[in-house]
Amino acid sequence: MLWRKSTIGCIVLGLCASLAGATNAFALNPVTSSIASFTLIAPTSEVPSGLLARAVIASGAGCPMLSGSTSAGRTFALPMRLRSKPALAGAAYSALDVCERGIPTGTDNAMVGSRVIPATLPSRIKRIALTGDSGCRITSLAVQNCANTSAWPLARISRNIAKDKPDVIINLGDYFYREAECPVTDQGLCASSPPPPGNLPVTGSAMSWIADALIPMQPMFDAAPILMARGNHESCARGGIGYFLFFSPQRSTALQCAPSIVDGKVVVPSNDISPTWNATWQVGDSDATAHTLDIEVIDSAYGGDQSVDSYAAIQRPSYVAAARRVAKEKPDEAWLLTHRPIFGMISTQYSDGQSVWTSPNQTAASQGLLGDFNLILSSHVHVAQAVNIPNQPAQLVIGNGGTLLDPATGYETPKYGPLSNVDGSPLSPLATPYPAPTSTWTDVRFGYIIATPGTQTKSWSLEHRDERGKPFASCAVANRLAKCRTTH
């Protein structure tokens, strides 16, 4: 571990030149000062190993090497490649460059420059961390205390997820929340938080991504490969340029939110939906329960939260692609991952007497396509929640990863189902309401989930932990049902 300490000293004291050559790592990798490095879960169509190494570095510093060795004893040192940056992103993203390289299949250990990164998934996954909705909220209406790690606990959650030693981490999206300049009246909460760029029709910038995600998430980046879904805060008009630069797992998507000039104005895309992709893992508590788990990842960055409209038809192909792949490949178990929930409830304090069911365009877009899924994972509502709709996969909402929580009360089980109004009538002629839920459970505390396979095939035990890592609730998932209870 000595070389890692040397690396820190090298960065802090600027002694890299005198230390270079002191170890093999330095000899191979003259660049040691990556701002963040991590291993993304990526589609195997792009990276055969399903693992993509990324490094965020100072702009112009030059990409580090990806080095390591395989279980067969072969060593490698591969130059990382610069990821494209949108030409018109201007100064907002000029401070950083992003480098990437697929991790070779069979890799045992790997380093980006001189920093160790997660290099492998176990042959049988036994521990999955689940988290979502994490940035520090600054809008004209609400300001979180970004200067206090109890009020904005992402760094603590990240550290405790790392301590729990998951095999893999799933992040359900909404990373970027610093959407307004810190109000003069709230300087004690957010003084000097990076403001939105004034020269682009977007709210995100490199500096806000550093503050909201890249620095506080580094402990969990170090712990395990991570799947980073896109939330609505990563739409192109918000943090999308940063999402596609840092976290999108496809090498071809770097410019998806690139600004362009139309009729003399700078604009960014909207309703740009990334194609559905998937990851398939071996999971299980023992040989007897080992099985394949397929996770279908939907891009639900768009579509609104209150009505069913023409967007549902635009979103539907994402769910058709997921359902088709699962029907064709027939994994033992399949989860649907979509940032906006399909069966998620907001507090009656927010619903203004209307339906509490959120994101009905996702509900409508996926209708009739959920038959092969056991579980739906989402965030978006800033709570921990489980919803069981008759004959549908259980819905989990894990939106308590650090951003300002939703109201603490107002989550009684509704007597009407998704896609209906409070009197049970259809919300829209475009979609048939679901029946009322058989049960719901909501707990409004910061935290994350550690999921472990149960002793029965395709069953899971979920432990909700708070930002200190202390358990506060548990869920048993089996037969497409999630039964949750608060324990502390």
Q: Please name the helix (run of DSSP H) or strand (run of DSSP E) that holds residue 161, with its range, or none.
A: helix 154-163
Closest approach, Cβ 301 to Fe ion, in A, equals 9
Question: What residues make contact with Fe ion under the rule CB under 5 A?
Answer: 133, 174, 231-232, 380
Closest approach, Cβ 135 to Fe ion, in A, equals 8
Closest approach, Cβ 227 to Fe ion, in A, equals 17
Mention every residue, 6+ apart, whose C-beta is less than 8 A from residue 286: 455
φ, ψ at 349 (rounded to 5°): -65, -25
Closer CB to Fe ion, residue 101 or residue 230?
230
Mention every residue, 6+ apart, whose C-beta is less than 8 A from residue 77: 28, 65, 66, 67
Cα–Cα distances (Å) from 223 to 1, 116, 125, 226, in that order, read 16, 10, 14, 9
Closest approach, Cβ 174 to Fe ion, in A, equals 4
Cα–Cα distances (Å) from 440 to 62, 130, 388, 411, 415, in that order, read 51, 19, 6, 8, 11
Find tokens 């170090």 and name the residue.
222
Rounded to whole angstroms, the Cα distance separating 465 from 459 reads 19
Closer CB to Fe ion, residue 6 or residue 385?
385
Percent helix, strand, coil in the chain (nearest 5)?
A: 20, 25, 50
Closer CB to Fe ion, residue 96 or residue 383?
383
Closest approach, Cβ 212 to Fe ion, in A, equals 12
Closest approach, Cβ 362 to Fe ion, in A, equals 11
Of 354, 42, 34, give the one whose Cα is nearest residue 214.
34
Closer CB to Fe ion, residue 156 or residue 382?
382
Rounded to 5°, the CA angle 66-69-72 comes to: 150
Closest approach, Cβ 231 to Fe ion, in A, equals 4
Instruction: Please state whether beta strands 168-171 and 277-283 pair in parallel, antiparallel, or not at all (unpaired).
Output: unpaired
Closer CB to Fe ion, residue 39 or residue 318?
318
In the three-class reduction of DSSP (H, G, I as helix; E, B as strand; rest coil), residue 51 is classed as strand
Closest approach, Cβ 305 to Fe ion, in A, equals 9
Rounded to whole angstroms, the Cα distance separating 482 from 458 reads 12
Closer CB to Fe ion, residue 231 or residue 437?
231
Closer CB to Fe ion, residue 63 or residue 404?
404
Provide the token pair at 358: 């959120």
Q: Distance between alpha carbon 150 and the CA centroid of its chain, in Å?
A: 21
Provide the token pair at 338: 């979509």
In the three-class reduction of DSSP (H, G, I as helix; E, B as strand; rest coil), residue 90 is classed as helix
Closer CB to Fe ion, residue 272 or residue 332?
272
Find tokens 């579509």 and name the residue.
303
Closer CB to Fe ion, residue 26 or residue 357?
357
Closest approach, Cβ 350 to Fe ion, in A, equals 13
